[in-house]
Structure 1
Amino acid sequence: MKKFSSSQVNWGVIGAGSVCEKKSAPAMNKITDSSVVAVMRRNAEKAKDYAERHGVPKWYTDADALINDPEVNAVYIATPPGSHLELTRKAANAGKPVYVEKPMARNHAECLEMIKICEEAGVPLFVAYYRRTLPNFLKVKSLIEEGAIGEPRYLSVVIHHSKHTDEKDSPSNNWRIDPAVAGGGYFYDLGSHQLDYFDFLFGPLKEVNGIAANQSGTYPAEDIVLGSFSFESGVLGTGSWCFTTGETSQKDEIVIIGNKGEIRFPCFWGTSVTLKKDGKADEVFEFEMPENIQFFLIQSIVEELLGKGGKCPSTGISAARANWAMEQMTKNFNN
């Protein structure tokens, strides 16, 4: 891997849309020795507006121009997954580290190609699975490692969400449910976070099975996925992801069961962690999130690039495994 030769990370952001308003890009200007120096959107008016509102010196409507800007020495790709492979190729070929939004790509093959491209170019590849750095999710990991629930046996994950309006759930208005752009539907958008986090907790998945369907007929992607899986560490798991339930059935819960207790927590709708131990009262841990949810992950990237002792826990290699798992669960639908 080539040594990062600068003492400052100067980010160029491709796709300065909604995720960059608060979740990610603003953090780049709050972290020591890090700043956003250029942004890009195809719409000139929107690119200019973002740059002016966020105090970014330069804006572009062409990705190549941003990537080849000599002041930019790291590239954040915040576009939909369909463009991740090609933009990663261009940034890596320019010799610039890559930070890409999740899911990493539309499919596992594209993920592997991105890894290969960056390895051959000698640049690091990071992916925005920021739950690996948030305090509530780190608490769950520490509880497991401390033996709070004994030996982990099994986990279950449930995400049930009511159907959105037909207008929003149109591929022309919402890339997240257009498989040609996103690789799948809301399962790829949300389930990828959960599967990556389980990889963080228990290591790589070993065997994955599932069944997917489209029950509502509203859009072309799957809207329900049921899965079962096992980890190389021996832990087993099941999951259900349904995005067409009634409002009373909405649910977001992960349960990790050990031989001496269990841990319950949400992935998206809340930040508390509940520890249930045999013979003891429940313990509930509450957490505050950073103003910019990707702050800690981006901080780890900056510290790794600058040799300040940090190490980003979310790489192309780890993120690709989430794509592989999603493909295994939806292959009956996509084939």
Structure 2
Amino acid sequence: MTDTTVRIAMNGVTGRMGHRQHLVRSVLALRDQGGLELADGTRIRPEPVLVGRSARKLRTLAERHGVEHWSCDLDAVLGDDTIGIYFDAQITAAREEAVRKAIAAGKHLYVEKPTAGTLAGALKLARLAQEAGVKNGVVQDKLFLPGLRKLRRLVDSGFFGRILSVRGEFGYWVFEGDSQPAQRPSWNYRAEDGGGIAADMFPHWEYVLHELFGPVRSVHAHLTTHLPRRWDESGAPYDATADDAAYGIFELAGGIVAQINSSWAVRVHRDELVEFQVDGTEGSAVAGLRHCRFQHRAGTPRPVWNPDVPASEPFRAQWQEVPDNADFDNGFKVQWELFLRHVVRDEPWRWDLAAGARGVQLAELGRRSSAEGRRLDVPELNR
């Protein structure tokens, strides 16, 4: 068998996530290591074609990274029969139209989330892709983080017994942009541009909860805009119309209760930027981006509540570290490898546009729940 070159139209790689994680640390990393080697010794060799709106930015990226082809004409790129995959990491408001074009052009699809601004739009994309017979995938990177892979090891081993609850904390302080530059683009804080932390993070929480613990059956959320005034990339003030914090309670199949706080207006007092604590009848664990610590029922100490004396127990030291037992590559790169195998060798793949629609659904229901002040059931989507 011969090596296979896969040309990938990569749209939106001038942005932070598209550039760092998808272009540099995934596709270019695979290119620079000589491609993705398969069991029979052949290789899948990805070749990026950069797409975007700014010729200056694309030219600079291409020259910096030794990429031969780039274009500001998406229609022309999609009309190129040598392009096999369309990847989209644009702002949310621009994604749906571009993905529709890629489907019509018969390209396989790999897209960031949310896949569309509405559930109706996300389901339409999933149906169009299915009808066109194109392979499709949605980025669900957190499943491939070392910490969550270790957590999954505990879940699959039955370590927890009956799982009772999941508690998640995510976020950090994103500077307003006046005295210090903001760490995130300004569109994230404008609802009219598809911004909002619920739209951004609820799709993540949907697939994490679904894959590790079970489908989400109901949501009760409170969304708010803690910082209503921010400054954009040019230093101009603007009104933040999107939520910058979302507090959610999710009931999962089997009665598991998950509570996840997401905020871009919180200062970090934990070991990692995101942490999940899972409590079960037989043990508990705390997982972050890279680490996972656990405490078994037999080794659980008996804390004594006494507010009159200083705490003397070293609570953190009473937990054990789950060992790596493997080399963990970049999570985005790992999922890219799986998708390339799916496209070239038709290997199994389950993170498709229909799965991505569940994340859009949860974000939409979260907004409704907050606006109406009530818990909402999560209907099962027809695939």
1:23 counterpart (21, 24, 29): 21
Residue 295 of structure 2 corresponds to: 276
Q: 1:53 to 1:317 in 2, by over 3 A?
A: same
Shift of 1:203: 3.1
Equivalent residues of 2:93, 2:116 under 8 A apart: yes
**Could you tell me how far apart the structure 2 residues matched to 1:286 and 1:187 are?**
33
**Could you tell me how far apart the structure 1 residues matched to 2:21 and 2:208 are?**
18
**Could you tell me how far apart the structure 1 residues matched to 2:244 and 2:18 are?**
27
Residue 275 of structure 2 corresponds to: 253
Shift of 1:241: 2.1
Residues 118-156 of structure 1: per-residue CA shift (max 9 Å, x gap): 112111221111222333322211211211111112111
RMSD: 2.6
Shift of 1:298: 0.6
Residue 315 of structure 1 corresponds to: 352
Residue 83 of structure 2 corresponds to: 72
1:13 counterpart (3, 10, 19): 10
The answer to whether residue 189 in structure 2 is matched with residue 177 in structure 1 is yes
Residue 194 of structure 1 corresponds to: 205
Residue 365 of structure 2 corresponds to: 328
**Could you tell me how far apart the structure 1 residues matched to 2:345 and 2:268 are?**
48
Equivalent residues of 2:221, 2:370 under 8 A apart: no
Structure 1: state its 5+ residue gaps.
1-5
Secondary structure in 2 aligned to 1:200?
A: helix
Q: Which amino acid aligns with 2:368?
A: K
Shift of 1:294: 0.9
Structure 2: state its 5+ residue gaps.
31-35, 37-42, 230-239, 300-317, 373-383
Secondary structure in 2 aligned to 1:245?
A: coil
Shift of 1:332: 4.9
TM-score under structure 2 length normalisation: 0.77
Shift of 1:207: 1.3
Secondary structure in 1 aligned to 2:114?
A: coil
Matched ranges for 1:127-166 at <5 A: 127-166=138-177
Equivalent residues of 1:132, 1:314 under 8 A apart: no
Shift of 1:73: 0.9
Q: 1:186 to 1:47 in 2, by over 3 A?
A: same
Higher Cα radius of gyration: 2
Secondary structure in 1 aligned to 2:83?
A: coil
TM-score under structure 1 length normalisation: 0.87
Q: How many residues align?
A: 323
Shift of 1:98: 0.6
Q: Percent of counterpart pairs with the same letter?
A: 20
**Could you tell me how far apart the structure 1 residues matched to 2:263 and 2:62 are?**
38
**Could you tell me how far apart the structure 1 residues matched to 2:109 and 2:27 are?**
14
Q: 1:42 to 1:20 in 2, by over 3 A?
A: same
**Could you tell me how far apart the structure 1 residues matched to 2:17 and 2:262 are?**
23
Matched ranges for 1:81-120 at <5 A: 81-120=92-131
Equivalent residues of 2:294, 2:321 under 8 A apart: yes
Equivalent residues of 1:151, 1:259 under 8 A apart: yes
1:240 counterpart (246, 252, 261): 261
Secondary structure in 1 aligned to 2:158?
A: coil
Equivalent residues of 2:96, 2:116 under 8 A apart: yes
Q: Which amino acid aligns with 1:230?
A: E
**Could you tell me how far apart the structure 2 residues matched to 1:328 and 1:195 are?**
12
Shift of 1:19: 2.3
Shift of 1:293: 3.7
Shift of 1:176: 1.6
